[in-house]
Amino acid sequence: MTSERVRGAVLYAGAALLLAAGGVWWLRAKPRTEIDPDVARWSATAERLLPEPPDAEATETVELGAGAERQIDAPINTGNQRLSVVCVGEANSIVRVSLGLIDDSGRGLHCTGEQAPTHFEVFLVDNLHMNLAVTGSSPVVFRYSVIKIDD
């Protein structure tokens, strides 16, 4: 074997070793996504309390961290709508729900136990704009659905 072939073999072996070491490092360094068992249980409870209606214009389950703020935009048909909301989480948590693009104080929704969903009727044009803000020291699960009401 010539010295050039030996150097080439060593170079390829070094590259393979470096690639393997990089792969192991990458797999060990990736963030672990642990699912909080409370949040998983609360999600199941929210979906049981407010199942997706067959004629829903929009439905979603949202996990929110403590102190989180989030805006939800969902395309819907213009007209009278019934908005149903439910929140599940620790007893001291409240989600403030406000509709529209204007920031108002909204309506407080307690996340205690297994409360029945809250329903209210609104007239919406093209999109649902909903602002959510969590007060409390733990995460919560918020679920909503929108159903068109016959005029």
pLDDT digits (tens, 9 = 90+) for 97-114: 888 766 666 778 888 777
Which stretches of the chain score pLDDT less than 70? Answer: 1, 32-35, 101-105, 151
Percent of the chain at pLDDT > 70 equals 93
Distances (CA, A) of 89 to 42, 47, 135, 139: 6, 13, 11, 7
> Checking phi first, is residue 100 left (phi over 0); if not, alpha (psi -120 to 50) or beta?
left
Residue-level pLDDT at 124:
83
User: Domain residue spans in the chain?
Assistant: 1-30, 37-148
The whole model's pTM is what? 0.74
Q: Work out the percent of the chain whose per-residue pLDDT is above 90.
A: 24
Pick the CATH number of 37-148 from 2.60.40, 3.30.110, 2.60.120, 3.40.50: 2.60.120
pLDDT digits (tens, 9 = 90+) for 83-95: 999 999 987 888 8
